[in-house]
């Protein structure tokens, strides 16, 4: 049985995933305002992914006979000075998410809550992918520097990104 402490932490994560979606929505808006529609698309997909993650936590809490509590969150930053800054902020945010997921895993492990441990393994793998993607784009943006043609090539590449919900195992 899941403890109140773990349910509380899982609820916090539901809300943090929704907050993450808001952060990425703000980044999408910034990119769109800069006429970089591929970058905007990248963050549109991120918004969908974060909402999917929130839904996974939401459903898990319900499945485990818990109560989901939705709260508000602070306004995300909306002003950035470059795509590199946007992606550095994205990576920093994902590193916070990773720490939060690890904390959940620590609580579940301490409590020997095996169902939650199994559930969280998917998120740990997901965070590896998220940070890898952000690091890759940061490296590309650093190499691009002030080369506008290369920036637009990366923009075109990011336009191809789509959200495909993972199939259950």
Task: Look at residue 169 and tell me whether its pLDDT is greater than 60.
Answer: no
Task: Look at residue 31 and tell me whether its pLDDT is greater than 80.
Answer: yes
Q: Does pTM surpass 0.75? A: yes
The Cα 30–Cα 68 span in angstroms is 31
Q: pLDDT grade, residue 21 (50/70/90)?
A: very high
Q: What is the pLDDT of residues 95-137, one digit of tens each?
A: 999 999 999 999 999 999 999 999 999 999 999 999 999 999 9
Judge: domain 4-158, CATH 1.20.1440.230: no
Q: Decide: 47 and 24 in contact? Cβ < 8 Å.
A: yes
Q: Decide: 21 and 47 in contact? Cβ < 8 Å.
A: yes
Q: What is the pLDDT of residues 82-99, one digit of tens each?
A: 999 999 999 999 999 999
């Amino acid at each position: 049985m899941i403890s109140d402490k773990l349910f509380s932490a899982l609820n916090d994560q539901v809300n943090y995933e929704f907050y993450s979606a808001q952060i990425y929505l703000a980044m999408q808006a910034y990119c769109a305002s800069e006429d970089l529609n591929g970058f905007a698309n990248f963050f549109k997909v991120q918004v969908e992914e974060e909402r999917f993650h929130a839904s996974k936590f939401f459903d898990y809490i319900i499945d485990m006979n818990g109560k989901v509590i939705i709260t508000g969150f602070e306004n995300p930053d909306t002003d950035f000075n470059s795509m590199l800054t946007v992606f550095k902020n994205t990576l920093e945010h994902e590193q916070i998410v990773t720490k939060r997921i690890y904390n959940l895993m620590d609580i579940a492990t301490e409590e020997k809550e095996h169902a939650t441990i199994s559930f969280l393994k998917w998120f740990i793998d997901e965070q590896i992918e998220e940070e890898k993607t952000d690091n890759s784009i940061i490296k590309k943006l650093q190499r691009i520097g002030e080369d506008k043609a290369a920036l637009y090539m990366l923009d075109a590449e990011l336009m191809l990104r789509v959200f495909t919900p993972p199939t259950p195992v």
